[in-house]
Amino acid sequence: MLIVWSLQVAGIFQGDLINEGGWSLVFRFLVAALSPEISPDFLLLTLDATLKTLAYAVCGTFFSVAIGFVAGVLSSQVWWKSLGKVYKTPWLAIRATLAIPRAIHELIWGLFFINIFGLDPLVAVLAIAIPFGAMTAKVFSEILDETPREPLLALLNNGVPPLSAFVYTLIPQALPNLISYIFYRLECSIRSAAVLGIIGAGGLGYQIFLSLQSLRYEQVWTLMFALLFLSGCTDFLSGLLRQHLKLPNRSPTFSQRPTPEVAPSSHFSTLSLLCAVILLVFSFWYIKADFTKFWEPRTAERLVRVIQDVFPPQWIDLHQLLALSAQTLAMSILAMVGAAVGGILLSFPAARRNLEASRQFSIDNLISKIRIGITRFLLLVARAVPEPIWALIFLFVLFPGILPGAIALALHNLGIIGRLMAEVVENLDRRPLLSLKALGGSNSQVFLYGVLPATFPHFLAYILYRWEVCIRATVIVGLVGAGGLGRLLTEQLSSFDYKGLLTTLIVLIGLTFVIDLISGNLREALR
């Protein structure tokens, strides 16, 4: 019923969805991929934009991890229980406080900080650090709450202070999961850094947006290839580091315990840490963010002015807000249904493990490797291109509305969900599957009775998690004309209606909280 309702809201049953005149632009756009701009000047511009996007992501991830580590401990139930006091009230207060920055998209944070700091690289760093810090805190608190507590309780019963007991027991156990999640968060930060370019923060997203607006499709493809290369290298290197450091696979929805059969090489760990420090120092040096603006008197004056402009919120035209909220919800439902179906279908051919795997060369193995490579490349393209860029492309042939936004969100989330689901398939315990095979089960029976029941709970957990993220992302596709509350936010920003903007954000945050509550309860039931 929800899917049919969402299709009705999107106007599927009303016709007049396709702009026939846009097909020529689509053809020009696709043909331009065969001749990307490779002039020396533009390649230098692309290199600078690529390094700037990477630097924004690294600096933003650094601060988000620092925020997430501290806030994750304070928002975990086990921390307050270890104090031996009534923990419910402060725990709920901290969790509720962290939910607010998590519910607001980094693009909105970027627009807010532009009014405070101007067009400074500090804007992009803070816009990534604050919402991602709140997300990291939520994940880390869940990891801590699911970590075995026997060592902690033993130290507490022997009179060890709670902080010391925490540092020597739970933190070392949870740290591998946190480090693994940092790699995942860095990949997300690269995509967010590209998105922030739309508001003038610079980097690849900014250049892609300018080239699209001026219809210079050859330049667009050069920049998109650079974005694909950056995302692909990050994905490959993070996977390589997790493998060598014996870390559990990334998981934003449930913690996994590392497999400590083989200890990671100390030399490799030292080298990895050194490279991380060098990359961090380079990133701060390259973007040259002016952190002195934090304590400038002018910053405080601008902050006071912004607060005066947005408060109190202006509660008018609630009917329009409800209608646009329905569009936003419908857009997210259509996006997640498309991403879920596509992710499940592509996750199995993208997984590296299968029952017939063999070390010997054969045509079947060669075909399997080609299939895996093509599928993973498609997933990489889908998730590397930011949602607003996908939306702008589909607006060539689709009239403005929630349908191009839903398709853009579906494609982007398909790449993320498909990749995460493929890791679930790769990590399956093969012994039950081999037993079914030995008992005479066909490949289809092994899949239906062995693979699907073992993977589906994890698949559903990922889908619910991405649904929460998708609600936030409806804002950025709305900013490029894809409908929903994001379109209203664009109009309010352009008309400097800050009181109305705050009202729309409150409605969006409320909608996000409802989805977060529903998906959280469903995920809890799956555990």
Top-confidence range, 119-128, 487-496, 509-518 = 119-128
pLDDT class for 85, splitting at 50, 70, 90? Answer: low
pLDDT tens sequence across 279-299: 999 999 998 888 888 888 888
Domain for residue 19, yes or no? no
Select from 257, 289, 306 the last residue of a domain: 306
Q: Are 475 and 127 in contact (CB under 8 A)?
A: no
Residues 293 and 352 in one domain: no
Classify residue 7: in a domain, yes or no: no
Question: Is there a domain that residue 279 lies in?
Answer: yes
In a domain, 85, yes or no: yes
Label residue 481 by pLDDT band (50, 70, 90): low
Domain encompassing residue 345:
332-526
Mean pLDDT of 497-526: 77
Residues 290 and 371 both lie in one domain: no
Mark whether 280 and 397 lie in a shared domain. Answer: no
Q: Is residue 223 part of a domain?
A: yes
275 and 353 both lie in a single domain: no
Which of 36-45, 436-445, 463-472 is predicted most confidently? 36-45
- For residue 265, give both structure tokens: 């090489």
Give domain status of residue 486, yes or no: yes
The pLDDT of residue 386: 81
113 and 246 belong to one structural domain: yes
Between the two ends of the chain, the Cα-to-Cα distance in Å is: 26
279 and 156 belong to one structural domain: yes
404 and 469: one domain? yes
Structure tokens at 134: 């709140």
Same-domain check for residues 492 and 349: yes
Confidence check: pLDDT of 494 > 80:
no
- Same-domain pairing of 120 and 64: yes
Distance CA 416, CA 387 (A): 12
Residue 250 has a pLDDT of 54
Domain boundary (272, 306, 340) is at: 306
Report yes or no on 99 lying in a domain.
Answer: yes
Mean pLDDT of 489-494: 76
Q: CA-CA distances (angstroms) from residue 467 to 164, 247, 303, 400, 525?
A: 38, 26, 33, 22, 17
Residue 355 banded pLDDT, cuts 50, 70, 90: very low
Contact 381, 408 (CB under 8 A): no
The more confidently predicted of residues 266 and 385 is 385
pTM: 0.82
CATH number at residue 474: 1.10.3720.10
Let me know whether 297 and 351 are in one domain.
Answer: no
- The total of structural domains in the chain comes to 2
Domain boundary (263, 288, 306) is at 306
What percentage of residues in the chain have a pLDDT greater than 70? 89
Instruction: Say which residues have a Cβ less than 8 Å from residue 509's Cβ, sequence separation at least 6.
Output: 100, 103, 104
Residues 202 and 349 in one domain: no
Is the same domain home to 290 and 389?
no
Neighbours of 524 (CB within 10 A): 8
Question: Which residues have CB under 8 Å from 162's CB, separation 6+?
Answer: 79, 82, 83, 84, 156
Mean pLDDT, residues 424-446 taken together: 75
The pLDDT score that the predictor gives to residue 74 is 87
User: Alpha-carbon distance 14 to 336, whole Å?
Assistant: 22
pLDDT digits (tens, 9 = 90+) for 238-273: 777 777 766 665 555 544 444 444 455 567 677 878
Average pLDDT over residues 410-415: 90
Instruction: Tokens 């993320």: give the residue.
Output: 416
pLDDT at 64 over 90: yes
